[in-house]
Amino acid sequence: MITIALSKGRIFEETLPLLEEAGIRALEDPESSRKLILDTNRQDVRLIIVRASDVPTYVQYGAADLGVAGKDVLNEHGGEGLYQPLDLNIARCRMMVAVRNDFDYESAVRQGARLRVATKYVNAAREHFAEKGVHIDLIKLYGSMELAPLVGLSDVIVDLVSSGNTLRANDLKAVEHISDISSRLVVNQAALKLKRHDIQPMLDAFERALKQ
């Protein structure tokens, strides 16, 4: 049995065509089904539906053999026990620093002010501001970071931006680009050795699909 961990939403949707190339089709849609384990057309392959940030953990411990996770999530997890053979180039976005429209970020940085940074991405934020030599107080959040500067929880947020609509709708502006984000295929290192016969053809099929 090969178990593939995916999250609902954009990762699931954008991974489907790649699975298709490997001859794997889900028999149910996770958006309408409440099942957490989905059968596929192949008896030896199943999909499990987990939170995006839990994908590396399931694969690390071998509860899933493969998974798809964003670089943002992998950076926070650390990547221990994971082989990362392919950048799938899906679920693309940018990790940015954003502030309220009326906040003068440049001068706060110039004056050496200590910044309160709210984010779900504490590793990425710590690395970014350390590199800039900016002192920060980190405030860990689990979602809706955009709210934090609006109600005075933080001066700055570190968050993902794709269309920019969420920032605009909340009178925020992006002031720094930290990194480009896309999702990667992750494979359990032991599973790759023990099940190479089944897993390698999948990796080859994903790679073919990416070249098209």
Applying CB under 6 A, among 72, 97, 117, 187 the residue interacting with ligand PRT is 72
Total residues binding ligand PRT (CB under 6 A): 23
Applying CB under 6 A, among 70, 83, 96, 199 the residue interacting with ligand PRT is 70
Applying CB under 6 A, among 4, 19, 26, 73 the residue interacting with ligand PRT is 73
Residue 151 neighbours by CB under 8 Å, 6+ apart:
none
Closer to ligand PRT by Cβ: residue 109 or 124: 124
Distance of CA 165 to the CA centre of its chain: 19
Closest CA to 83 of 61, 71, 64, 66: 66
Rounded distance between C-alpha atoms, residue 37 and residue 29, angstroms: 11
Distance of CA 18 to the CA centre of its chain: 18
Which CA distances in Å does 37 have to 4, 7, 27, 163, 185? 10, 12, 11, 32, 19
Applying CB under 6 A, among 75, 164, 175, 205 the residue interacting with ligand PRT is 164
Cβ–Cβ under 8 Å, residues 160 and 94:
yes
The length of the chain is 212
As measured in angstroms, the least distance from the Cβ of 177 to ligand PRT is 13
Interacting positions 6-65 with ligand PRT (CB under 6 A): 7, 9-11, 51-53
Applying CB under 6 A, among 34, 143, 152, 197 the residue interacting with ligand PRT is 143
Binding track over 86-115 against ligand PRT, x by CB under 6 A: -----x-x----------------------
Candidates 75-83, 158-166, 188-196, 200-208: pick the segment binding ligand PRT (CB under 6 A): 158-166
Crossing angle for the helix pair 10-21 and 196-211, to the nearest 10 degrees:
100
Residue 32 neighbours by CB under 8 Å, 6+ apart:
none
Instruction: Please report whether residue 124 would count as binding ligand PRT according to CB under 6 A.
Output: no
Candidates 100-108, 110-118, 154-162, 199-207: pick the segment binding ligand PRT (CB under 6 A): 154-162
User: Contact residues for ligand PRT (CB under 6 A)?
Assistant: 7, 9-11, 51-53, 70, 72-73, 91, 93, 143, 159-166, 181, 183
